[in-house]
Structure formats: structure tokens, C-alpha cells
Amino acid sequence: MKALTICQPYAEMIVRGTKVIENRTWPTRHRGLMYIHAGKSRAWFDDDQHLIQEFGKLPPFGAVVAIADLYDCVHKSKLPAHLEDNEHANGPYCWLLRNVVPIGPWPYRGAQGLFDIDDLDEVANRELGIASPASGGGEHG
């Protein structure tokens, strides 16, 4: 399944359903389910205390945190009317998300652009301490 790394606190806002638009400088043809990966970078906020105040806890970093349905990708100038005034519509391309399901968090290495995660079941099993007969070890992500 495709995955997208998103910096905190924006990944947490997507998990909580308060951010339904992800902005990129490039469009995508991908539609459908994708993993939301919270990046490791702390560049988008001042300090941990701010995040704890906002969310009641420190959100995860460097982990898969949700599955979302990417149902459309449009230039900001072509947003549906009900999203035109959305505070998160900055563009130039707006990736429209819905049906977000929180999962994990499962530690995972992110990547730039859309990337594939094909072994999340293995990652989940390892995180939960369940042995997987198919796992061959090695680095994931």
C-alpha cells in the first residue's frame, strides 16, 4: 500500500480528523487507501510542551499512525466549494482525505514522496511481540 510521510503536528491532526487536506507542491494520480506516516522531524513546532498542551500527549514521530482514503487531488484553485475556506488549504495541490482510521503507532522509516509499505503486518507482529513464520529479519522501511 502507498504511504506518505507527514510532519507532526499535521499527521496527528489528520489522525484526529481536524485536517482533511494535505498540501503538496506536486499532484498525484493515486486514489484510494494509503498509510499516514508521522515523520521524525520536529521542525514544524517550537517545543514538546506545545504539542502536549494541544493534544494532551506527545504525538508519535517516525511511525505509521493511520490509514486514510485519498479520494482526490486538486489544484487549490479547483477545490470543492465546501473546502475553499478550509484553513489547511494552502496548495498548490490539495490532497483530499477522508475515512481516516488510526492505527499503531508502528515505528517505520519514512521516505520522500509516495512510497510503498508492503510489510506492515510483519512490523505490527514484531511490535506486538508475535512471531511471524514468514519474517526473514532485516531492516524495514
Name the domain count of the chain: 1
pTM for this model (two decimals): 0.81
The arithmetic mean of pLDDT across residues 127-140, rounded, is 45
**At a CB cut-off of 8 Å and minimum separation 6, what does 52 contact?**
58
Instruction: Give the CATH number for residue 6.
Output: 2.30.130.30
Which range of residues forms the domain containing residue 76?
A: 2-128
pLDDT at 120: 75
Q: Answer whether residue 136 is part of any domain.
A: no
Q: Answer whether residue 61 is part of any domain.
A: yes
Task: Retrieve residue 141's grid coordinates.
Answer: 522501511
Q: Answer whether residue 64 is part of any domain.
A: yes
Taking only the tens place, the pLDDT of each residue in 50-80 is 778 888 888 999 999 999 999 999 999 999 9
For residue 92, give the nearest of 74, 71, 70 by alpha carbon.
Answer: 74
pLDDT at 43: 78
Q: Answer whether residue 139 is part of any domain.
A: no
Q: Answer whether residue 135 is part of any domain.
A: no
Q: Are 77 and 90 in contact (CB under 8 A)?
A: no
Q: Answer whether residue 63 is part of any domain.
A: yes
pLDDT at 129: 53
